[in-house]
C-alpha cells in the first residue's frame, strides 16, 4: 500500500483496498452489510456486485416496461434484447464508513458482449448510513443502482441474484469527507421511478428499436410490391404482344384478300421444297420475335427491381 503525507504531518495509508483488507472490512460488518456479500465475489483489489431479483426495471418480450418493486422478486432470467435498457439494483446492501469510497467499473466479460453499465462512477463515503433521530445508523436497504444497455446484436441473459454486472474498487479517503452520511438513492429509485424510467432516461435506444422495426416492416412491404409487379409486367408485355400480333394478322388477312395478292398467289409454285422454305422462314421470324419479347421482359423486370427505384 502506498504511503503518502497529507497536510497533517501524520503518515496515512492510502490507496486501493486489496482482497485481504476488503475481507477484513466485510467481516467487521463494514462497507457491505452482513448476509448480502459473498466471498466468491472478491477480486484481487475489488468486489463484483450482483444484480438483485427485485427493484428491477426491464422490458418484457412484448416491449412493455415492467417494474419489480422492492420485495417483488423475479425468478426467471432477464433477456436483455439488443438496444434494450434496464435499471438493476445490487443484491448487496451498503454501509460505507467515512474513510472508504468506491469506483464503479464495467466488467470486461459483459462489455465484450455489448452489455454496458452506464454508471455514475463513484460511491461516496457515508453511503448507506442515515440519521434515526439523533443517532447515525446503517440503512437497512441501501443499494447501488445501474442503468444498463445492450449495444450488441445478440440477446444477453442476466440471472437475477447471480449475474455480476459491475465491479467496485474501494479506496481509502484522505482527510475528512465532511458529508456524512452521503445522500441515499434507494428511496428515489424505489418510490419515484416509474416502470418506463430507464427507457425515458436512455430514450435513444428504444427509439433505435422502433426505427429498426419500422425499417423491417417497410422492406417487407417493398418486397411484396416488387414480387407483385414482376408478373404484372410480364402479363402486360404478353398482352401487348398478342394485341400486336392480332393487328398484324388482321392486316395480313386484309392484305391476302386483295385481288392483286390473290393473283400473285396463283403464280407461287405449289411444290413441297417451297412450302418447306416458307415454313422455316416463318419459324425463324417467330423465334426472333420471342427472343425480342424475352429481352424486353428481362429489361423491364431489372428496371423495376433496380436499387434506385427501391429507395
Ligand X SMILES: O=c1ccn([C@H]2C[C@H](O)[C@@H](COP(=O)(O)OP(=O)(O)OP(=O)(O)O)O2)c(=O)[nH]1
Could you list the residues that contact ligand X (CB under 6 A)? 104, 119-124, 127, 144-146, 182-183, 185
User: In angstroms, what is the minimal distance from the CB of 103 to ligand X?
Assistant: 9
User: In angstroms, what is the minimal distance from the CB of 49 to ligand X?
Assistant: 10
Comparison of 103 and 209: residue with beta carbon closer to ligand X: 103
Closest C-alpha among 173, 180, 188, 91 to residue 130: 180
User: In angstroms, what is the minimal distance from the CB of 181 to ligand X?
Assistant: 10
SS (H, E, C) 185-196: CHHHHHHHCCCC
Cell output for 164: 455480476
- Neighbour-count burial of 113, counting CB atoms closer than 10 A to its CB (0-12 exposed, 13-18 middle, 19+ buried): middle
User: In angstroms, what is the minimal distance from the CB of 226 to ligand X?
Assistant: 49
- Are 112 and 82 in contact by the 8 Å Cβ rule? The answer is no
Comparison of 92 and 199: residue with beta carbon closer to ligand X: 92
Over its C-alpha atoms, the chain yields an Rg (Å, rounded) of 39
Comparison of 68 and 145: residue with beta carbon closer to ligand X: 145
Comparison of 174 and 237: residue with beta carbon closer to ligand X: 174
Residue by residue, DSSP assigns 176-221 as -----SPPP-HHIIIII--TTHHHHHTTHHHHHHHHHHHHHHHHHH
Phi, psi (degrees; rounded to nearest 5) at 219: -65, -40
Comparison of 104 and 209: residue with beta carbon closer to ligand X: 104
Beta strands 11-13; 3-5: pairing state:
antiparallel
Comparison of 192 and 311: residue with beta carbon closer to ligand X: 192
Q: In what order do the strands lie in the sheet with 164-172?
A: 42-43, 46-50, 164-172, 100-106, 122-123
User: In angstroms, what is the minimal distance from the CB of 81 to ligand X?
Assistant: 22
Cell output for 302: 431489372
User: In angstroms, what is the minimal distance from the CB of 106 to ligand X?
Assistant: 10
Amino acid at each position: 500500500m502506498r504511503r503518502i503525507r497529507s497536510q497533517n504531518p501524520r503518515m496515512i495509508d492510502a490507496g486501493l483496498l486489496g482482497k485481504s483488507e476488503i475481507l477484513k472490512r466485510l467481516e467487521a460488518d463494514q462497507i457491505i452489510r452482513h448476509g448480502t456479500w459473498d466471498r466468491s465475489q472478491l477480486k484481487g483489489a475489488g468486489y463484483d456486485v450482483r444484480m438483485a431479483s427485485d427493484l428491477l426495471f426491464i422490458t418484457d418480450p412484448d416491449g412493455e416496461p415492467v417494474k419489480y418493486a422492492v420485495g417483488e422478486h423475479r425468478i426467471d432470467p432477464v433477456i436483455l434484447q439488443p438496444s434494450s435498457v434496464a435499471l438493476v439494483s445490487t443484491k448487496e446492501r451498503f454501509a460505507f464508513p467515512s474513510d472508504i469510497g468506491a469506483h464503479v467499473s464495467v466488467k470486461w466479460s459483459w462489455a465484450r458482449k455489448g452489455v454496458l453499465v452506464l454508471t455514475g462512477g463513484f460511491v461516496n463515503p457515508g453511503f448507506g448510513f442515515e440519521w434515526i433521530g439523533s443517532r447515525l445508523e446503517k440503512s437497512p436497504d441501501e443499494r447501488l443502482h445501474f442503468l444498463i444497455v445492450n449495444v450488441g446484436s445478440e440477446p444477453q441473459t442476466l440471472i437475477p441474484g447471480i449475474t455480476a454486472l459491475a465491479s467496485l474498487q474501494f479506496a481509502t479517503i484522505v482527510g475528512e469527507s465532511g458529508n456524512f452520511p452521503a445522500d441515499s438513492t434507494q428511496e428515489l429509485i424505489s418510490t419515484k421511478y416509474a416502470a418506463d424510467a430507464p427507457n425515458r432516461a436512455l430514450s435513444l435506444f428504444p427509439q433505435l428499436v422502433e426505427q429498426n422495426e419500422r425499417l423491417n416492416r417497410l422492406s417487407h412491404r417493398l418486397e411484396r410490391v416488387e414480387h407483385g409487379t414482376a408478373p404484372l409486367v410480364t402479363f402486360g408485355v404478353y398482352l401487348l404482344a398478342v394485341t400486336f400480333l392480332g393487328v398484324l394478322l388482321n392486316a395480313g388477312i386484309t392484305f391476302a384478300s386483295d385481288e392483286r395478292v390473290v393473283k400473285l398467289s396463283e403464280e407461287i409454285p405449289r411444290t413441297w421444297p417451297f412450302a418447306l422454305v416458307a415454313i422455316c422462314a416463318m419459324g425463324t421470324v417467330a423465334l426472333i420475335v420471342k427472343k425480342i419479347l424475352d429481352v424486353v421482359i428481362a429489361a423491364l423486370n431489372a428496371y423495376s427491381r433496380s436499387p434506385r427505384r427501391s429507395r
